[in-house]
Amino acid sequence: MSARARKPAPAPAAPRAARAVRPEVAQFLEHLAKERQVSPHTVKAYARDLADFAEFMDRFSGGSWDFATVDRLALRGFLGAMERRGLARKSMARALSGVRAMYRFLQVHQGLETSPVRAAKTPRAARKLPGYLDRERTEALFQGAEARAGNDGDASGLRDLAILELFYSSGLRLSELVGLNTSDLDLLSDQVKVRGKGRKERIVPLGSRASRALRHYLDAREDEARRPSADRSAVFLGKRGKRLSARTVQRLVHRALDTVGGDGLKTHSLRHTFATHLLDAGADLRAVQELLGHASLSTTQIYTHTSVERLKKVYQQAHPRA
């Protein structure tokens, strides 16, 4: 038996949570959480991706490296390793985004001069077209919700209707809706203040039906709001007076979507429906971008696939030989 075979087996790798985090990575994650107020989910994702990158660099360099010595060859090796692991292009792009953000932090805060990520191309993932409701099913959704609100005899039906109306009227994300406080609502001016990704605030108009549904719900929820443990600042409350959880909102929206044959549609589909119907009606793409709170116009452009019907009507009306 060879000497190599006689060596004891290496100890199993420690769980990632127990592995030491490089000091500069810890500083970067703290900067994201405290100074930039990035969401905890994003911080955790960056932490995982940077841990993967550090683990790869340990193998690639034999354990001796720092961010200043990483070159393009190492970065290409990292991307290749992820591809061999069978990671989706979306996951690879997210990991590269985390490494790129780490290098920007080092350049600004620690004077690092060069970044190997600057010339790296982000793997492009195939974009899935967002699911949404057509006009007919949207009307059926609200007819059913209005009927349930009238029959339930308590605040829950009115609450569920207000949630559906708000999603469709203002295009909110799930986290944005759950985090709403009563102080964010301006029902006199029919608008709502929304805290989006990165704690960025935006003012979004409320449709008249959404505003009316919210008024009716807020009037009807007095029993829940009077409980000693009630979260009176929250807009949407459960039966015990606590702020409604994201999981509860997802369940009630999915039940409502199932009633109109929304198989495969999720809570986010109401946000997609909001954007799709605006563009189909001729809304400006940049206006829709601001309403959705998208940082990049390219993110909003995915909705333009739904405007074919509107473009055909324009063509028929304007082209001499249509």
Active-site amino acid positions: 173, 197, 268, 271, 294, 303
Structure-token pair, residue 131: 């699911």
The Cα–Cα gap between 304 and 136 comes to 20
110 CB-near residues (< 8 Å, 6+ apart): 24
Contact between residue 124 and residue 298 where contact means Cβ atoms under 8 Å apart:
no
The Cα–Cα gap between 236 and 214 comes to 10
The three-state DSSP-derived secondary structure of the chain is CCHHHHCCCCCCCCCHHHCCCCHHHHHHHHHHHHHCCCCHHHHHHHHHHHHHHHHHHHHHHCCCCCHHHCCHHHHHHHHHHHHHCCCCHHHHHHHHHHHHHHHHHHHHHCCCCCCCCCCCCCCCCCCCCCCCCCHHHHHHHHHHHHHHHHHHCCHHHHHHHHHHHHHHHHCCCHHHHHCCEHHHEECCCCEEEEECHHHCEEEEECCHHHHHHHHHHHHHCHHHHCCCCCCCCECCECCCCCECCHHHHHHHHHHHHHCCCCCCCCCHHHHHHHHHHHHHCCCCHHHHHHHHCCCCHHHHHHHHHHHHHHHHHHHHHHCCCC
